[in-house]
Copies of this chain bind each other. A is one copy, B any other.
Amino acid sequence: MPATVSEKTIGRLSLYRRLLYELRSAGEENLYSHQLAQMAGVTAAQVRRDLMSIGYSGSPTRGYDVRELGESIGRFLDSPIDQGVALVGVGNLGRAIMAFFAGRRPHLRIVAAFDTDPYKVNRVIQGVRCYSLEQMPQVVESEGIQVGILAVPAVAAQGAADTLVRAGVRGLLNFAPVPLRVAPDIYVEDIDMTMSLEKVAYFARQRATQKELQTW
């Protein structure tokens, strides 16, 4: 069991757990690494490597216990106590994010939203209370929030990140199309939709071209 687990492995473990949860709902009790691999779109060896990281062992004949493995990943990934998340920016994207996460994981849920728009402040959207930006340090601290989601326009992202970090947040999920400058001990995950779409456009085009060449 390695002392430190790579970012990619953590991501896949999250995916595995979700798939396992679905299997469990479907009444499955056991599965083999190659089955989980196929569902996750990776190789069986990759699955077994990833599971080494959390020290979970399966049986050579039954494979893995769906429930046990799911719980084992949970113990590894999740905080023992509930983690609250702060969302900054309650525009189109912010509200879509709220709706997306609403009721999904009780241990990791959005507990406060922030926006400059006075019309939104003090309202409750998707079950989440909205606050003004000024209240951010207070609320983040009193709620013990360590995770922030940035769904603000690019120009406002760095400022919002700074305020969140100063208030005690240790990790950021950044939807704004701008690289954030934060202290090295703060974890930032970027979701850059423009970049992703351009990647898809590039490879869609490239593969279409390759296909043509293949027929020669």
Which residues of A are at the interface with B, using a C-beta cutoff of 8 A? Answer: 7, 10-11, 14-15, 18, 39-41, 77-79, 83, 85, 91-93, 95-97, 99-101, 104-105, 108, 146-147, 149, 169-173, 177, 179, 181, 185-187, 189, 191-205, 207-208, 210-211
Contacts and interface: CB of A to CB of B under 8 A. Distances in A.
A187 B171 contact: no
Nearest to A102: B92
A85 B204 CA distance: 11
Contacts of A104: 194
Given A170-B207, A187-B204, 18 more contacts: A7-B199, A10-B203, A79-B201, A92-B95, A92-B96, A92-B99, A96-B96, A108-B197, A146-B208, A149-B197, A170-B208, A171-B200, A171-B201, A171-B205, A185-B211, A189-B196, A189-B200, A191-B193
Contacts of A205: 79, 83, 146, 170-171
B101 A202 contact: no
Number of copies: 2
- Pick the most buried of A78, A100, A201: most chain B CB atoms within 10 A of its CB: A201
Contacts of A77: 198, 201-202
